[in-house]
Chain A
Amino acid sequence: MSIFESKKLGEMAVGTKIVVYGVLGIWTFIVLFPLYWVLITSFKLPIAVSGGPFYLPFVDFLPSLHAWSYIFFDLGNDTFRPYFNSVVVAVFSTLLVMITGSLAAYALSRFTFRPRLLTILIFILAVALVIVLVAALGVNWLIAVTVGVALAVIGAGMFRRTPSPTLGNPDILFWMISQRIFPPVVAAIPIYVMFQQVRLLDTHVALILTYTAVNLPIVVWLMYDFFVSIPKDLEESAELDGASRIRIFFEIILPLSKPGLVATSLLVLIFSWNEYLLALFLSTANAQTMPLLVAAQNATRGPQWWYMSVLIIIMIVPVILLALVLQRFIAKGLLVGAVKG
């Protein structure tokens, strides 16, 4: 009998156990060591970094708070402003995307939509017209949009009775989710120009709206799966009692989908908190977010590892604490969508 054969049914053999715990232990080390290194680097003097490698505080090198005091006191507002920006942008875009995304997901899971292809075609033609007017003929964009909207409404009304093929809910759902495939860089320049036109470049509003749109597909997809799994009886009885749809949504559906809401919000919050590319396009000084500040520590004098480490730590600590608190929801909530497919 070798050590890899178990003695009892459902028990692991000693050898297997050693291998399993060994692998898991090694991976724990791989996950934690880089974070440990960042933590001790934040307490190192420049000389302790360049003369290194030094592994243990008080043994290899004397820890110092110089980097922390530089970030918090010398830089002061130059640290707090991006931090505040990041918090505002992440929190508000998460709120906004959760509201719009869950509303859409709920509607798609409960109502039947039959958008007519003809109406969509008319709408596309109107959009094309607006673009030609603005881009090629130099018409003021406000006038062009007004003309476009008016023509689309009139056109849709005129052809309302013309027979046309229709789309269904799965098509709309697919349309919304598939937006995630589009690389943000495709949309970045037009979004930049758009915000420049309405003078919102380098503001919180620009980043909040953009992140909301970017994260919308994730929310619609995860929340749709969640809403579908909630039985409809409760709503039907509430409807018989005369409750309005919006009340049903806020008072019955949302409380029931708490795990899904929490997990999805956390995911979306992490994405907005860490986003880099679009912030690079849309913000310069006023609305600068933390990832940009971290990236900017690669100064002309070479990377300032100690300052960087402090910034990285103050960026990840709140998110990790949040995730630890919400841990029990994540396992339940986030996985509904993916596991069901």
Chain B
Amino acid sequence: MEHTPLETWQTRAVDWFDRHSGRLFVLPASLLILAFSIFPLIISAWLALSRFKLGSEGYELIFVGWNNFRKLLFGSEQYHLLGTFMPTSWLGWLIVAAAIVLIGWGIRSFVTSGHVTVMGTIGRLIAFGLFAALAWLFAATIGDKGQIGSLSTTIFYVFLGVAIQFVIGAGLAFLCSLRIRGRSFFRVVFFVPLMVTPVGIAYTFRMMADMTVGPISPLWHWLGLGGFSWATNAWSARLVVVLGDSWQWIPFMFLVMLAAFESQPKDELEAAELDGASGFQIFVDITWPSVAPVAATIVLIRMIEAFKIVDLPNVLTNGGPGIASESLTLHAFMQWRALDLGASAAISYVLLFTSTIICVSFFNFVVNPARRARQ
């Protein structure tokens, strides 16, 4: 067969492309991640170690070592990130006791498991270390005159929020997986909040929670709480943020858990029913083990996203009262707006370390065992 030079060149190019298609397919994605994630991460690390100064001709960056971190962890900005330390109250001691029991239980089950490895030990040292530090931080700042900082506030949002979302989402999914009519109607309606922009949710909840002209204000007055404003109390402000976040994300838990409940082994269920097992027994022995891996996975996914919470506290409470409802991301954003880029980067690194350690620990200690138990 005759080929003109142009044709050979073309076939060669196509050939080359085909032979290297695997690499070429991965290339755009890898470049994007490098440019928008790895590269910025390195620059941020360097920013966190320097001071940003606006001068007459542009800006300059001065290397200051650990100064930004020192200021946040021990110095003048400590109240903002970690909180105001006060003598431990009874609630603080309760947290300390619970943490000691949990860590002790973790160590015991690790030692008696018979799989003591170097990596396992290091991982547990880091995880338990962070856990103990956070428990101590809560205990030391939660007292009457103390104030928890943005780190503890973020942890509060993540743990309370994800717990509420999982329990309600999975509960609704379980009810919908029973033999009921109108399942597709509930599925559509329950999905809706996921699509509302978080900024919109924040304003909607401000309207809903308005204690003078909001829709539930008559009930509020009837309860004799007319004079109380949730926005001026630190804990109620944080709670409203959690409620708004939960309203949005329960649908996500609901959808995935519904799929999980629907795909549980039908034959086992029928066999158990014929044997006369009670509903509760069926749930504990068949349903729960079959959905546990999915449950652990979506809790992890939600945790990863929950650590980044910013729109709700920013719009709902503007971080207030004072700094009470500021999350770490909002804190970093405020520092950026105040042109303190070093502190902003340092805060985001605190967030990065905390969320990575907690999410990786959760993956290793909860998600993986749940999957292995199923196999």
| Docked-complex contact B195 and A185, CB < 8 angstroms | no
A339 within 8 A of B: yes
| Docked-complex contact A103 and B29, CB < 8 angstroms | yes
A150 within 8 A of B: no
Task: With CB as the reference atom, state the residue of chain B lying closest to A35.
Answer: B192
With a CB–CB cut-off of 8 A, which chain B residues contact A281? 336
Minimal beta-carbon separation of A257 from chain B (angstroms)? 15
Give Cα A341 to B299, complex, Å: 12
Stretch in B1-9, B64-72, B131-139, B252-260 touching the partner? B252-260
Mask, A142-174, CB within 8 Å of B = 1, is 000000000000000000000000000000100
Interface centre among B26, B46, B217, B333 (most CB of A within 10 A): B26
Give Cα A108 to B301, complex, Å: 22
| Docked-complex contact B218 and A53, CB < 8 angstroms | yes
| Docked-complex contact A37 and B196, CB < 8 angstroms | no
B227 within 8 A of A: no
Minimal beta-carbon separation of B83 from chain A (angstroms)? 20
Minimal beta-carbon separation of B30 from chain A (angstroms)? 7
| Docked-complex contact A183 and B32, CB < 8 angstroms | no
Minimal beta-carbon separation of A310 from chain B (angstroms)? 11
Give Cα A187 to B172, complex, Å: 37
Give Cα A24 to B304, complex, Å: 28
B348 within 8 A of A: yes
Q: Which of B28, B188, B304, B348 contacts A180 (CB 8 A)?
A: B304
- With A100-B28, A185-B308, A185-B310 known as contacts, the answer to whether A193 contacts B43 (CB < 8 A) is yes
| Docked-complex contact B207 and A245, CB < 8 angstroms | no
B39 within 8 A of A: yes
With a CB–CB cut-off of 8 A, which chain B residues contact A99? 28
| Docked-complex contact A277 and B273, CB < 8 angstroms | no
Minimal beta-carbon separation of A186 from chain B (angstroms)? 4
With a CB–CB cut-off of 8 A, which chain B residues contact A17? 180
Stretch in B13-21, B74-82, B87-95, B231-239 touching the partner? B13-21
A291 within 8 A of B: yes
With a CB–CB cut-off of 8 A, which chain B residues contact A180? 304
- With A10-B179, A101-B29, A213-B35 known as contacts, the answer to whether A131 contacts B46 (CB < 8 A) is yes
A73 within 8 A of B: no
B186 within 8 A of A: yes
Mask, A91-130, CB within 8 Å of B = 1, is 0000000011101101110110100000000000001100
| Docked-complex contact A107 and B22, CB < 8 angstroms | yes
Minimal beta-carbon separation of A259 from chain B (angstroms)? 13
| Docked-complex contact B22 and A244, CB < 8 angstroms | no
| Docked-complex contact B213 and A295, CB < 8 angstroms | no
B47 within 8 A of A: yes
For window 51-66 of B, CB contacts with A under 8 Å fall at 61
| Docked-complex contact A216 and B197, CB < 8 angstroms | no
Task: With CB as the reference atom, state the residue of chain A lying closest to B44.
Answer: A186
| Docked-complex contact A189 and B44, CB < 8 angstroms | yes
- With A12-B179, A315-B200 known as contacts, the answer to whether A276 contacts B310 (CB < 8 A) is yes
B156 within 8 A of A: no
B263 within 8 A of A: yes
B226 within 8 A of A: no
- With A9-B274, A186-B351 known as contacts, the answer to whether A216 contacts B29 (CB < 8 A) is yes
| Docked-complex contact B203 and A50, CB < 8 angstroms | no
Give Cα A41 to B141, complex, Å: 41
| Docked-complex contact B32 and A338, CB < 8 angstroms | no
With a CB–CB cut-off of 8 A, which chain B residues contact A245? 18, 21-22, 25
Minimal beta-carbon separation of A332 from chain B (angstroms)? 9
- With A20-B180, A131-B43 known as contacts, the answer to whether A31 contacts B301 (CB < 8 A) is no
B322 within 8 A of A: no
Q: What's the count of A-B pairs with C-beta under 8 Å?
A: 282
Mask, B323-354, CB within 8 Å of A = 1, is 00000110011001000010011001101100
B149 within 8 A of A: no
Minimal beta-carbon separation of A220 from chain B (angstroms)? 7
A1 within 8 A of B: no
| Docked-complex contact A338 and B36, CB < 8 angstroms | no
A327 within 8 A of B: yes
| Docked-complex contact A294 and B189, CB < 8 angstroms | no
Give Cα A52 to B42, complex, Å: 53
Minimal beta-carbon separation of B57 from chain A (angstroms)? 13
| Docked-complex contact A338 and B301, CB < 8 angstroms | yes
A21 within 8 A of B: yes
Task: With CB as the reference atom, state the residue of chain A lying closest to B36.
Answer: A213
Mask, A184-206, CB within 8 Å of B = 1, is 11111111011000000000000
Give Cα A291 to B307, complex, Å: 20
A33 within 8 A of B: yes
Q: Which of A27, A33, A183, A291 contacts B351 (CB 8 A)?
A: A183
On A, residues with C-beta under 8 Å from B are 9-12, 17, 20-21, 23-24, 27-28, 30-35, 37-38, 41, 49-53, 55, 99-101, 103-104, 106-108, 110-111, 113, 127-128, 131, 135, 172, 175-176, 179-191, 193-194, 209-210, 212-214, 216, 220, 244-246, 249, 270, 273-274, 276-277, 280-281, 290-291, 294-295, 297-298, 303, 305, 308, 311-312, 315-316, 319-320, 323-324, 327, 330-331, 334-335, 338-339, 341
On B, residues with C-beta under 8 Å from A are 14, 17-18, 21-23, 25-26, 28-30, 32-33, 35-44, 46-47, 61, 168, 171-172, 175-176, 178-180, 186-200, 203-208, 213-215, 217-218, 247, 255-256, 259-260, 263, 273-274, 293-294, 297-298, 301, 304, 307-308, 310-311, 314-315, 328-329, 332-333, 336, 341, 344-345, 348-349, 351-352, 355-356, 359, 367, 371
Give 11 CB contacts A-B under 8 Å: A10-B273, A28-B186, A37-B208, A127-B39, A209-B36, A244-B14, A276-B197, A312-B203, A316-B195, A316-B200, A335-B259
Given contacts A106-B25, A213-B33, A341-B371, 4 further A-B contacts (CB under 8 A): A24-B172, A49-B213, A181-B356, A246-B21
